[in-house]
Amino acid sequence: MDIILRNIDPVAMKKIDEMAKRKSISRQEFLKSIVEKIAYEKEQNEKEMRMEMIISKNILVMEEMTKTIIRLENLLVDLMEE
């Protein structure tokens, strides 16, 4: 699908061209990547938030498991001393 933009500020276009040049890609490729990034940004942010939540839950579970293991180790030490 094509997009045609008119009346773009020349200074803005120059900056866009410079950014594209730094990435060694054409203006077309640069703008296409920006438009596609914007289109999927919300979905990507939601995925990242879900992943962060999963990681946080995993950390909590691991901390609880560590506490339980320590309690079990202490219990075993106490039982072995008796």
CA distances from 46 to 37, 38, 39, 50, 60 (A): 14, 14, 13, 6, 21
pTM of the model: 0.56
Residue 29 is assigned to a structural domain of this protein: yes
Residue 5 is assigned to a structural domain of this protein: no
CA separation for the pair 37, 21 (Å, rounded): 19
Please check the confidence at residue 82 and state whether its pLDDT lies above 90. no
- Domain interval for residue 74: 10-81
Q: For residue range 47-64, what is the model confidence (pLDDT) as tens digits?
A: 999 999 999 999 999 999
Residue 3 is assigned to a structural domain of this protein: no
Residue 1 is assigned to a structural domain of this protein: no
As a whole number, mean pLDDT of residues 30-52 equals 94
Residue 19 is assigned to a structural domain of this protein: yes
Query: How many domains, the chain?
Result: 1
